[in-house]
Amino acid sequence: MMRDNGKTHVCDMCLEYISGVCSDEDKRTFERHLPDCADCRAEIDELRLVWEAIPAGMERIEPPKDLKKQVMDAALAADRKRLPASGRPAAKRWITGAAIAAAVLIFAAGSVWNYGLYRERTASPLPVEQALDIPAAQIERLISLKPANQESDRAYGVACIVNNGQSKQFIVYVFGAEATVESQAYQVWLLEGDTRRSAGTFRVNEQGIGVLAMPIATGNLTFDSVGITLEPDDRGDQPRGDKKFGSV
C-alpha cells in the first residue's frame, strides 16, 4: 500500500498481513511493529473476529492472489475518497472499516470462485494438464456501503458483482449491523432511476455480521445505487422498515 510520498506506512499493512498477501519481508516488519502499536493490535483483533465468524465447516480453496489485490485496492480506494483531511486517528477509523469489509469480501469472492471451480470439476472433471484453463474470478463492480445512522461508526458494508467467467454472483456483506430477531430480515434494494427492486434478504447474527450471495441470471445486473432496510420479515416487495445502509 503506497502513501503519497511513495513509502509504505506499516500501520496500513493490517489487511495484507492477516489475508496473507504481503511478502515475507513485509510480514517480518509488521510483526516487529505490532507489539508497540495499540491501533494495529486493535485492528487485527477486529479482522480476526470477522474470520472467526465465517462458518468453520465451509470448504475453502484459496482464491487467486490477483483477486485479493483487486478487492483490497477497490475497497481502500473507495474509502479514501471519504477520508477527513485532518488527523490520522479519524483516517485510521475509515481505513479499518475498508479493511474489514475487504477482508470478508476476499473470502466471499473466493467462495464464489471456489463454487465455480467445484461446479466445473463435478460437471466435467479436468485432467491436470488442463488445470490452467480454469478462469480466475474478477470483481466487476464494488460498492462501499455506509450506515444510514451516522452514529453507527463501527458499521460497514460492501456490495459487489463477482464473475469467474462461467457465472456471476451479487454479494453483499455487512459488519457491525444490528442483529435480527425472530422473523426480522435485512432486505437489499437495487435502485435504477425511479425503479426499486429487491435483490434478496439475509439475517445478521449476534456478532453483527450478515452476508447475501445471489446468482445473476442475466448478462448484466444494472443499478444506480444500493440500499438495505431492516424488515419485519423476508416476504416484502416494498420497503416497510428503516433504512440501515446505503451506497456511498
Q: Mapping DSSP to helix (H, G, I), strand (E, B) and coil, where does residue 164 land?
A: coil
Confidence of residue 197 (pLDDT cuts 50, 70, 90): very high
Span 83-114, pLDDT tens digits:
444 444 444 444 455 555 555 555 555 544 44
Rounded (10°) angle between helices 38-53 and 88-123: 30
Average pLDDT, the chain: 72
pLDDT in tens, 221-237: 889 999 999 999 999 98
39-43, 115-119, 190-194: which is most confident: 190-194
How far apart are alpha carbons 200 and 234 in whole angstroms?
A: 8
Per-residue pLDDT at 62 exceeds 50: no
pLDDT in tens, 104-150: 555 555 544 444 444 444 444 444 444 455 455 678 888 889 898 87
CA-CA distance, 206 to 183, in Å (whole number)? 15
pLDDT of residue 22: 78
Which residue, among 119, 156, 154, has the nearest Cα to 137 in the 3D structure?
Answer: 119
Whether 58 contacts 111, CB under 8 Å? yes
Here the cell at position 154 is 463501527
Residue 192 has pLDDT above 90, yes or no: yes
Instruction: Locate 83 and state its grid cell.
Output: 477520508
Residue 196 φ then ψ, to 5° = -125, 130
In this predicted model, which residue has the larger pLDDT, 199 or 94?
Answer: 199
How confident is the model over 60-66, as a mean pLDDT? Answer: 47
Tally of CB atoms within 10 A around 54? 14
